[in-house]
Amino acid sequence: MKNLWGSRFQKQMDQMVEEFNASITFDIALYKQDIRGSIAHAKMLSKMNHLTEEELEQILTGLKKIEKKIEEGVLTFTYEDEDIHMAVESQLIKEIGDVGRKLHTARSRNDQVILDVRLYLKEEMEELFSIIQVLLKTLMEKAESHKEMLMPGFTHLQHAQPVTVGFHLMAYFQQFKRDLERLMDCYKRTDYNPLGACALAGTTIPIDRAYTADLLGFQAVTENAMDTVADRDFIVEFMSVSSLFMAHLSRLSEEFILWNAQEFSFIEIDDGFCTGSSIMPQKKNPDIPELIRGKTGRVYGHLLGLLTVLKGLPMAFNKDFQEDKEALFDTVKTVKTSAVIFSQMLENTTFKEEHIKKHMDKGFLAATDLAEYLVTQGVPFRTSHELVGAIVKYCEKTGETLMTLKDEVLPDIDSRLQGIVLPDLSSSACIHRRSSFGGTSPADVMRQIEKGKEVLEWSIGNNEVL
């Protein structure tokens, strides 16, 4: 088959080169967007009197027929079709004859491909927005039902201070909330109509770019034709947002893997999200969080790959841009699937309160609370830090805990502790005292949850804006 662009060539493309050059095997995924864009473009051409009403009707009928054939699997494409744009146009000419040759008036594959990707990514971001909302809702509901369940808080993976499970989960709520905000911001910069940029410099033929923007649901048109066909920033930005989202999901997955281990035994992951061993019958492996942790690197790789593709390109269109699609498609699929599965796993995970309680007596979790208590007794903080350090050292030597320590031994540890009466240093008392804004007290965790509900309600309302 002779390519639609091949009139100045005297020699057919080598088969291996043809296959290497073609993108139809993966950009077939954009057929709906490509046909949708062509329908809008045809309507604009008719509006500007470049097509008659009859010609417009022929083109629209032909395009819808092609779409139906693709959906039903009746119409398939080969390497000779090169890409989805040429494939659809060639098929349209077969369907309706020379009228189909008018469709490419005042457009190029350069603006056509960026249109398809923008339309595709807008749709996917709208779906991902809803998926992250479900994750946020699941986190919040789990946090609310565990707002008073004690657990050790860690720094350097060492016991640090007592917190609650609800407080810990709401920390991740904040990270995913920022991801949602970044996604919305990325959407705004994706929501521009590139049609009319043509190859790189616009067109001499009268067109109405605002009209096609309106037909396709874009907020506005791109400003500069050369930038339009060269721009992949919005894809990089989406991949960056996706990478950071996966980083957060991977961090929570890592905690699930640790909490699931016998050394912690904080959680019980539902059997439906685990696998066993082919040789060790007792094993129950946390495969889902491990896979998400691994797939995070996959998403990072796509981001770095596209940045590397872009770094040395001169302005306007270059064939290198063909490398953006497979990376984008895989990023979208990976992020969406990971988020959906993690939400379901979280919902079906049980926190094992009795096992967690066994960890609350380790690591002198109330040490900071004791230091802050001494401050309220008039002791400078640096001095109180020093004194509590001495108390901890004494407890380690004697086998005492902060809970079992008697007031009368305090002066023996340090004379400056004369007259000090120890407060209630139980983990429960500690978390209830931590009522500062953003703290782990159940009251403030509930405030965070109520604020989270407002954020979620606001974001759901803004689904219509996307």
Q: Are residues 374 and 261 in the same domain?
A: no
Residue 156 annotated as catalytic: yes
Could you tell me which of 110, 122, 63 has the C-alpha nearest to residue 90? Answer: 63
Final residue of a domain: which of 313, 341, 358?
Answer: 358
Final residue of a domain: which of 358, 380, 408?
Answer: 358
Do the Cβ atoms of 200 and 225 come closer than 8 Å?
A: yes
For residue 9, give the H/E element and its range: none
Q: Are residues 223 and 258 in the same domain?
A: yes
Which CA distances in Å does 89 have to 30, 64, 98?
14, 12, 11
Q: How many domains is the chain partitioned into structurally?
A: 3
pLDDT of residue 1: 46
Task: Dump the DSSP string for 77-103.
Answer: --GGG-SHHHHHHHHHHHHHGGGGGGT
State pLDDT tens for residues 144-188: 999 999 999 999 999 999 999 999 999 999 999 999 999 999 999
Q: Are residues 219 and 331 in the same domain?
A: yes
pLDDT of residue 121: 98
Q: What residues have CB less than 8 Å from 355, skipping those under 6 apart?
A: 265, 266
Do the Cβ atoms of 68 and 54 come closer than 8 Å?
A: no
pLDDT of residue 227: 98
Q: Are residues 67 and 183 in the same domain?
A: no
Task: Dump the DSSP string for 375-400.
Answer: HHTT--HHHHHHHHHHHHHHHHHHT-
Asked, for residue 445, whether it belongs to a domain, the answer is no
Residue 288's domain is classified under what CATH number? 1.20.200.10
Q: Are residues 116 and 136 in the same domain?
A: yes
Residue 390's domain is classified under what CATH number? 1.10.40
Q: Are residues 307 and 205 in the same domain?
A: yes
Q: Which of 130, 145, 277, 435 is catalytic?
A: 277
Final residue of a domain: which of 65, 84, 105?
Answer: 105
Asked, for residue 402, whether it belongs to a domain, the answer is yes
Q: DSSP letter at 22? A: -
Q: Are residues 95 and 116 in the same domain?
A: no
Q: Are residues 305 and 334 in the same domain?
A: yes
Amino acid residing at 212: T
Half-sphere exposure of 220 (CA within 13 A, CB side): 8
State pLDDT tens for residues 207-248: 999 999 999 999 999 999 999 999 999 999 999 999 999 999
Residue 359 annotated as catalytic: no
Q: What distance lies between CA 430 and its chain's CA centroid?
A: 35
Residue 32's domain is classified under what CATH number? 1.10.275.10
Burial zone of 381 (CB within 10 Å; 0-12 exposed, 13-18 middle, 19+ buried): exposed
Point out which residues pair with 150 in neighbouring strands: 164
Asked, for residue 60, whether it belongs to a domain, the answer is yes
Q: Are residues 403 and 264 in the same domain?
A: no
Half-sphere exposure of 392 (CA within 13 A, CB side): 16
Asked, for residue 442, whether it belongs to a domain, the answer is no
d(CA 231, CA 92): 29
Task: Dump the DSSP string for 188-251.
Answer: HHH-EE-TT-TTTT--SS---HHHHHHHHT-SEE-S-HHHHHH--HHHHHHHHHHHHHHHHHHH
Do the Cβ atoms of 343 and 357 come closer than 8 Å?
A: no
Tell me if residue 336 falls in helix, strand or coil: helix
| Residue ranges of the chain with per-residue pLDDT less than 50 | 1, 5, 465
Task: Dump the DSSP string for 51-79.
Answer: S-HHHHHHHHHHHHHHHHHHHHT-----G
Tell me if residue 163 falls in helix, strand or coil: strand
Asked, for residue 391, whether it belongs to a domain, the answer is yes
Which CA distances in Å does 125 have to 182, 193, 246, 313, 375?
11, 16, 15, 27, 50
Q: Are residues 281 and 378 in the same domain?
A: no
Q: Are residues 230 and 118 in the same domain?
A: yes
Asked, for residue 389, whether it belongs to a domain, the answer is yes
Do the Cβ atoms of 92 and 100 come closer than 8 Å?
A: yes
Q: Residue 68 sits in which domain range?
A: 6-105
Do the Cβ atoms of 128 and 183 come closer than 8 Å?
A: yes
Q: Are residues 312 and 372 in the same domain?
A: no
Q: Which of 7, 156, 278, 415 is catalytic?
A: 156
Asked, for residue 141, whether it belongs to a domain, the answer is yes
Burial zone of 182 (CB within 10 Å; 0-12 exposed, 13-18 middle, 19+ buried): middle
Q: What residues have CB less than 8 Å from 371, skipping those under 6 apart?
A: 381, 384, 385, 387, 388
Asked, for residue 421, whether it belongs to a domain, the answer is yes
